[in-house]
Chain A
């Protein structure tokens, strides 16, 4: 039975949704739909758009926004928060370990090939201590819910998780359009996220930094699909939004080119993949990148956030071992569980997957954005046959998970309120200490029954409330 988050088992409105229910009753469906068009016009005018790679069409598409908020009670959030912090801490401990002594591998808990032969592992990082021993400064954890008390982690994002701008803008639009919903103070605010992010970034300033650290946000440029978010965050933090061509390295320090001449940079929140950071250290054919950047980083002249090589912690093959990491590094039981996962690289798992493909969801280990996956129960026999050939050609490149009964959240449909499957991505900040804003991004599949919430595949977003009590 799918859990519809708005109602309890008797069909009554759950307490945390009382305010939303009251609002729906007062405004009426037709009224809400009128306001929906208004919201869309605001999004278009502000220019919050999302480009989808390889789909052609409108390069500046809008992400669909649904008016009805998704609500967590204070108790639900407390548990989520503990689980998220625990996980972010364990992932950073794991990163430090694999780039140093590799204790978890020596202990036989994670096969060494899975780490050292992984393409996201960066041998260049071995033995280097990043400031504060932090590798992943923004940990985005994708969480799904399958029952009132069952939250599970779908995947971790330790590199440059995106979507936080939607968390902020969705709330902003809701507050602007429906101030009456917020004036009783029921909902905890999220608007201090940019200040907390800046604080976290300043806390990891490099040894060479004297005085107040100069922080910049490094973007590939306006053609990147998340460019809106890059400029939005830089704006709210009051820091420069730089492109690689604005930076250069001299005497182990990074400088940006300004109208006054060169200005030193201490911390770089980079939204560029490892491979494109520095053509001298990584991909030599990269047209992006700042030559010498990695050298300056290792020399303590600048801090890169996230650290190169942080991707090893959010690899889908490593994911399976995160509960083990939590027990190993923290000595605690995992608060948020994993979804049972079969690794096709293991012969016994492969056999099970091939026998049960019609019931499972199969994914590429290195895939993201909902691409290249197969949802067994929805797939034709031909599609399954084709996909199993792909798995057999490279078993280590695939994992499989059961088809889950994702919970549904209230969504505005044509005739009324309908339930649509959703997931949740909170953003945990790691500097000298950990910070977590009460909220996150709820992505929702707007098509009935659909389980794919990625915006690149027609998913939408909605505001997420954490109630004060």
Chain B
């Protein structure tokens, strides 16, 4: 396929995933911010920091929900805002219109206008509904891809882009936790700490899944285990790495396999395997997350190089 089309499909899937993950970040921030004492700890600022949007804040005080809605939901000039992600996903889709089914195109074509017309005050009032809407749109997109797209190289590029972005956003969610949590402890502390960790699970729609896998008690290392190394949980880094590995493998059957990308993916898997049973948490969550983010970034540029993006 045309390299430009491969690149557009890769980024289209990334942007949709990013829009959804940013919506999930907002959910998490919202839950954390309503905890007692939150204004003091500035949860919202940590959300801005992990998305690389702190510079869009126009004052020094604690970041508010209104700031977040403006910056992360609506700002058309902020490339990370949900509005931008949906518009860019659609622009990518439009450039590869011939590689998409009608349903997939319609899924993206219907998504992009709604946020463009909404006023900040109204968005703030309807935030929960808007977040749900973004998640629904992403689900419709994925559903149409799943049930309609030909299983050719284009599909592989979409799945790789989606997997990469999702892995990165799970890592970023864990980073928010790092910034707002003061000391990292072995046991989930009382009240506040507990809610913060469970907010992470909640934002990833993983609260119930956690109980099924680990039983009723919340421990930070098990939560980390679910989000990083558990291969069954579809938002975990390990799951996303498997997904990318599978589709890179399929692409490699037709192309001269991009050795560098496969090696990097192997490195990510090794690191996660070595981190089982709490080992990752013992080594230091923040360092592991940072290392993993760096590896996924390297992977992205290696894929681009191998397929002439």
Whether chain B is bound by chain A comes out as yes
Q: Which residues of A contact B (CB under 8 A)?
A: 45-47, 221-222, 227, 231-232, 234-235, 240-243, 245-246, 256-261
Contact between A259 and B110, CB atoms less than 8 A apart: no
B residues in contact with A240, CB < 8 Å: 2, 98
State whether the Cβ of B274 lies closer than 8 Å to any Cβ in chain A. Answer: no
Most chain A beta-carbon neighbours within 10 Å: one of B97, B106, B153, B307: B97
Cβ-neighbour of A259 out of B91, B97, B105, B307 (below 8 A): B307
A residues in contact with B98, CB < 8 Å: 231, 234-235, 240-241
A residues in contact with B12, CB < 8 Å: none
**Closest-CB distance, A246 to chain B (whole angstroms):** 5
Interface of B is mostly: helix
Cβ-neighbour of B2 out of A45, A47, A221, A256 (below 8 A): A256
Cβ-neighbour of B95 out of A46, A221, A257, A258 (below 8 A): A221
State whether the Cβ of B254 lies closer than 8 Å to any Cβ in chain A. Answer: yes
Closest 4 CB pairs of A and B: A231-B97, A235-B98, A259-B307, A222-B94
B residues in contact with A258, CB < 8 Å: 1-3, 308
Contact between A47 and B109, CB atoms less than 8 A apart: yes
A residues in contact with B6, CB < 8 Å: 259
For window 110-125 of chain B, which residues contact chain A by CB distance below 8 Å?
Answer: 110
**Closest-CB distance, A177 to chain B (whole angstroms):** 16
- Quick one: closest A residue to B7, CB to CB? A259
**Closest-CB distance, B59 to chain A (whole angstroms):** 34
Contact between B109 and A259, CB atoms less than 8 A apart: no
**Closest-CB distance, A39 to chain B (whole angstroms):** 16
A residues in contact with B4, CB < 8 Å: 243, 245-246, 257
Contact between A260 and B97, CB atoms less than 8 A apart: no
For window 226-259 of chain B, which residues contact chain A by CB distance below 8 Å?
Answer: 251, 254-255
For window 145-190 of chain B, which residues contact chain A by CB distance below 8 Å?
Answer: 153
A residues in contact with B291, CB < 8 Å: none
- Quick one: closest A residue to B102, CB to CB? A46
Interface of A is mostly: mixed
Known: A241-B97, A259-B153. A45 touches B110 (CB 8 A): yes
CA distance A102 to B30 in the complex (A): 77
CA distance A47 to B94 in the complex (A): 9
Contact between B94 and A227, CB atoms less than 8 A apart: yes
Contact between A259 and B106, CB atoms less than 8 A apart: no
**Closest-CB distance, A32 to chain B (whole angstroms):** 25
- Quick one: closest A residue to B306, CB to CB? A259
CA distance A60 to B308 in the complex (A): 31
CA distance A231 to B91 in the complex (A): 13
B residues in contact with A231, CB < 8 Å: 94, 97-98
Known: A47-B105, A243-B4. A257 touches B308 (CB 8 A): yes
- Quick one: closest A residue to B97, CB to CB? A231
Contact between A260 and B255, CB atoms less than 8 A apart: yes
B residues in contact with A45, CB < 8 Å: 106, 109-110
CA distance A256 to B95 in the complex (A): 16
A residues in contact with B153, CB < 8 Å: 259
Contact between B254 and A260, CB atoms less than 8 A apart: yes
Contact between B94 and A259, CB atoms less than 8 A apart: no
A residues in contact with B2, CB < 8 Å: 240, 242, 246, 256-259
Chain B 1-45 against A: per-residue CB contact (8 Å), 1 yes, 0 no?
Answer: 111101000000000000000000000000000000000000000
CA distance A245 to B5 in the complex (A): 12
CA distance A261 to B6 in the complex (A): 13
B residues in contact with A259, CB < 8 Å: 1-3, 6, 153, 251, 255, 307-308
Most chain A beta-carbon neighbours within 10 Å: one of B91, B98, B106: B98
CA distance A439 to B251 in the complex (A): 43
CA distance A13 to B2 in the complex (A): 53
B residues in contact with A222, CB < 8 Å: 91, 94-95
For window 77-112 of chain B, which residues contact chain A by CB distance below 8 Å?
Answer: 91, 94-95, 97-98, 102, 105-106, 109-110
A residues in contact with B251, CB < 8 Å: 259
CA distance A144 to B202 in the complex (A): 65
A residues in contact with B97, CB < 8 Å: 231-232, 235, 241
CA distance A168 to B162 in the complex (A): 34
A residues in contact with B308, CB < 8 Å: 257-259, 261
CA distance A222 to B106 in the complex (A): 16
**Closest-CB distance, B261 to chain A (whole angstroms):** 13
